[in-house]
Amino acid sequence: MLLSVLLQEGPANTTSYMIAGYTIIFGVMLIYLISLLIRQRNLNKDLEVLEEIQVED
């Protein structure tokens, strides 16, 4: 009896877990991309300052 009940059930509905997983993954990637853009901007500013210092010397 128990075996027939287990076989009649379909696969577990895990769609919400899949959506949550993709949301978290893309959120982390977005935060990482923003972090890289901020670092790039800061490096460009540092490079400009160093070039100005070099020109003054």
> Is 2 part of a structural domain of the chain?
no
pTM of the model: 0.69
Q: Residue 33: pLDDT band by 50, 70, 90 thresholds?
A: very high
Look at the chain and report how many structural domains it folds into.
1
Structural domain including 47 reads 30-57
> Is 37 part of a structural domain of the chain?
yes
Q: Which residues of 2-38 are buried (b: 16+ CB within 10 A; e: fewer)?
A: eeeeeeeeeeeeeeeeeeeeeeeeeeeeeeeeeeeee
> Is 34 part of a structural domain of the chain?
yes
| Model confidence at 2: pLDDT above 90 | no
> Is 53 part of a structural domain of the chain?
yes
> Is 23 part of a structural domain of the chain?
no
Q: Mean pLDDT, the chain, as a whole number?
A: 90
CA separation for the pair 23, 27 (Å, rounded) = 6
> Is 43 part of a structural domain of the chain?
yes
| Model confidence at 1: pLDDT above 70 | no
